[in-house]
């Protein structure tokens, strides 16, 4: 732990209040039923403590005593190992590798579109909406193939996908009728144990009464 940085005895998540990546970690924590302190962060003006413990000053950042973790995949997998119930990773190596690759694609392709729309600079917003819609439609067969994303049980991949689906109305991204499988998938996840707990009050307002 860096000198001058306070020791946090309680599991602590530095999180923005409307960030699709932070929501992913809040969803993992909620699915596991883990209690934690949330430190709200404005990503454009990160607090001094976060600047000292995370070289990228990014959220989500997880602190547990002298352990500091950042990067949503690192944090998610740590939490899944630290709190094994319910397990959020499949057991066989092939499924695990597929899930990690899909999550990487989400981070590289889907999340930047969400962030570009939220940043609100036209004409990037229109291009990002179009691209996000295309990415979702390309993934339609995966949404149709199983109850959860690439898996028969809820997994860390769903914790990354569901926050994006939750935001679609707010992002102004509408899907055609034949994408009903995506809305159905969302509805299943939004009803899942813990989803409501994963939301900040700001995020809850995106789909009033649905979680
Ligand atoms: N690669 C990071 C990306 C997370 C991310 O994009 N966080 C944004 C907030 S939504 C952020 O902290 N931006 C400020 C920064 O990176 O300096 C992760 O996986 O945690």
The Cα diameter of the chain in Å comes to 56
116 belongs to a structural domain: yes
User: At which of 20, 54, 82 does a domain end?
Assistant: 82
Cα–Cα distance measured from residue 24 to residue 184, given in angstroms and rounded to the nearest whole number: 19
The C-alpha atoms of residue 78 and residue 133 are separated, in whole angstroms, by: 31
Helices (H), 107-190: 111-119, 124-138, 140-145, 156-171, 180-190
The torsion angles phi and psi of 59, rounded to 5 degrees, stand at -115, 150
Is 159 in the active site?
Answer: no
Residue 189 and residue 95: Cα distance in Å, rounded? 20
**Domain match, 38 and 77 both:** yes
pTM of the model: 0.95
The stretch 13-39 carries a mean pLDDT of 97
177 C-alpha to ligand 1 centroid (Å): 33
- The HSE-up count of residue 76 (CA atoms within 13 Å, CB side) is 25
* pLDDT score, position 176: 96
Q: Whose CA is nearest to atom 10 of ligand 1?
A: 19
CA atoms of 114 and 164, how far apart (whole Å): 7
Of 60, 82, 104, the domain-final residue: 82
Number of domains in the chain: 2
Based on the fold, state whether residues 75 and 97 are members of the same structural domain.
no
Nearest alpha carbon, ligand 1 atom 12? 58
Q: Which is it for the CA torsion 11, 16, 20, 68, positive or negative?
A: negative
Residues of the chain above pLDDT 90, percent: 92
3, part of any domain: no
| Cβ neighbours, 10 Å, residue 48 | 9
Based on the fold, state whether residues 144 and 71 are members of the same structural domain.
Answer: no
Nearest CA to 30 among 65, 74, 76? 76
> Mean pLDDT across the stretch 53-77?
97
* Candidates 19, 68, 88, 156; catalytic one: 19
Residue 4 pLDDT exceeds 60: no
Asked if 77 and 98 sit in the same domain, the reply is: no
Do 68 and 61 touch, CB atoms closer than 8 A?
yes
Kindly state the average pLDDT of the residues 36-49.
Answer: 97
pLDDT digit string, tens, across residues 115-138: 999 999 999 999 999 999 999 999
The answer to whether residue 87 is domain-embedded is no
Per the CB < 8 A criterion, the answer to whether 75 and 62 are in contact is yes
Q: Are residues 203 and 99 in the same domain?
A: yes
- How confident is the model over 175-201, as a mean pLDDT? 95
Say if residue 15 is exposed, middle or buried (CB neighbours under 10 Å; 0-12, 13-18, 19+): buried
What phi, psi does 175 have (nearest 5°)? -115, 150
Same domain, 158 and 114: yes
Q: What DSSP line would sit under 89-103, residue for residue?
A: S-SSHHHHHHHHHHH
The confidence score (pLDDT) of residue 7 equals 73
Question: What CATH number is associated with residue 163?
Answer: 1.20.1050.10
Structure tokens at 201: 């009050």
The CATH number of residue 58's host domain is 3.40.30.10
pLDDT 10s digits, 133-175: 999 999 999 999 999 999 999 999 999 999 999 999 999 999 9
Of all protein residues, whose CA lies closest to atom 20 belonging to ligand 1? 71
What pLDDT score does 47 carry?
97
- Compute, in angstroms, the gap from residue 69 CA to the centroid of ligand 1: 13
Residue that is last in its domain, among 63, 82, 101: 82
Is the per-residue pLDDT at 111 higher than 90? yes
Please give the residue range of the domain that contains residue 33: 8-82
132: in domain: yes
Q: Identify the weakest region by mean pLDDT among 2-6, 56-60, 182-186.
A: 2-6
Burial class (CB in 10 A: 0-12, 13-18, 19+), 137: middle
| 109 and 197 within one domain | yes
């Amino acid at each position: 732990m860096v000198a001058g940085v306070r020791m946090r005895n309680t599991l602590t998540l530095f999180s923005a209040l409307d960030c699709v990546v932070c929501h992913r970690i809040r969803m993992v924590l909620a699915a596991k039923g883990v209690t934690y302190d949330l430190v709200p962060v404005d990503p454009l003006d990160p607090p001094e403590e976060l600047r000292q413990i995370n070289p990228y000053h990014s959220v989500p950042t997880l602190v547990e005593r002298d352990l500091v973790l950042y990067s949503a995949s690192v944090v998610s997998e740590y939490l899944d190992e630290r709190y094994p119930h319910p397990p959020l990773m499949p057991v066989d190596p092939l499924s695990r590798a597929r899930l990690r690759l899909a999550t990487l694609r989400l981070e590289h392709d889907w999340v930047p579109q969400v962030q570009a729309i939220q940043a609100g600079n036209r004409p990037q917003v229109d291009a990002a909406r179009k691209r996000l819609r295309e990415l979702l439609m390309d993934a339609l067969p995966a949404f149709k193939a199983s109850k959860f994303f690439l898996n028969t049980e809820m997994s860390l991949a769903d914790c990354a996908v569901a926050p994006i689906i939750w935001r679609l109305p707010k992002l102004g991204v509408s899907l055609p009728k034949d994408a009903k499988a995506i809305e159905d998938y969302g509805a299943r996840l939004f009803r899942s144990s813990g989803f409501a707990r994963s939301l900040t009050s700001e995020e809850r307002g995106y789909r009033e009464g649905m979680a």
